[in-house]
């Protein structure tokens, strides 16, 4: 290394940040680091809160959409109607059907409007919201399409589910309560 080069090295090596500035800068670094971590934690908390909200929202949505009693009842009726399960008892006479479906804990009485509009085909046992129910199948007088009527004793928890109407997978499902009975009518 020449004298000039040595002088250059010596010059630069003599340049030093003084101790006070160095200490201040290192202190500032610690403050910046702390702020950075606080921001990181804040961001992570925000993300965690957002995820929690999404999960809670999702759970709430799924419980209100699929898990609430009315959805379950309407879904049950729709599925039972669409599947056209084999009738346990075939009869076009209501008294005969009522006589053979003797396991029911309610009298098999059909609403006047149903009797007038539809032609009886038969019935089978089923459940509605966990209660023993009758699934009575009819033919519509006008277009011969099948119609299902589900009926069970009206209970306290079922009263809240009355007077609902919804299209479930292409099946129009309606509920009502009359004469102590809870009815669900399903038709395409």
Give the nearest distance from C-beta 38 to other proteins in angstroms: 12
Q: Contact 87/123 with Cβ under 8 angstroms?
A: yes
Strand arrangement of the beta sheet that strand 165-168 belongs to: 89-90, 118-128, 131-140, 146-153, 181-187, 171-178, 165-168
- Over the window 32 to 71, marking each residue x when it contacts other proteins by CB under 8 A and - when it does not, the resulting string is xx--x-----------------------------------
Give the nearest distance from C-beta 31 to other proteins in angstroms: 10
Least Cα distance to 101 among 115, 87, 114 occurs for 87
Half-sphere exposure of 132 (CA within 13 A, CB side): 9
Q: Where are the alpha helices (DSSP H) in the chain?
A: 3-14, 19-62, 69-83, 94-100, 112-117, 156-159
Residue selected from 27, 29, 45, 159 as contacting other proteins according to rule CB under 8 A: 29
Of the two residues 19 and 143, which places its CB atom closer to other proteins in the complex?
A: 19
Q: Of 9-17, 90-98, 127-135, 150-158, which part binds other proteins (CB under 8 A)?
A: 9-17
Give the nearest distance from C-beta 48 to other proteins in angstroms: 21
Site of interaction with other proteins (CB under 8 A): 1, 3-5, 7-17, 21-22, 25-26, 28-29, 32-33, 36
């Amino acid at each position: 290394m020449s004298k000039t080069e040595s002088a250059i090295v010596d010059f630069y090596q003599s340049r030093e940040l003084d101790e006070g500035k160095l200490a201040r800068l290192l202190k500032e670094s610690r403050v910046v680091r702390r702020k950075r971590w606080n921001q990181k934690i804040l961001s992570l908390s925000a993300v965690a809160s957002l995820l929690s909200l999404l999960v809670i929202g999702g759970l709430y949505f799924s419980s209100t959409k699929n898990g609430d009693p009315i959805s379950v009842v309407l879904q049950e009726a729709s599925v039972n109607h669409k599947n056209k399960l084999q009738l346990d008892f075939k009869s076009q006479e209501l008294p005969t059907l009522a006589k053979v479906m003797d396991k029911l804990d309610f009298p098999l009485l059909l609403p006047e409007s149903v009797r007038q509009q539809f032609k009886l085909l038969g019935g089978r046992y089923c459940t509605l919201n966990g209660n023993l129910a009758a699934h009575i199948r009819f033919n519509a007088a006008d277009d011969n399409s099948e119609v299902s009527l589900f009926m069970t004793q009206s209970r306290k928890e079922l009263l809240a589910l009355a007077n609902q109407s919804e299209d479930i997978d292409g099946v129009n499902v309606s509920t009502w309560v009359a004469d102590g009975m809870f009815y669900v009518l399903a038709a395409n």
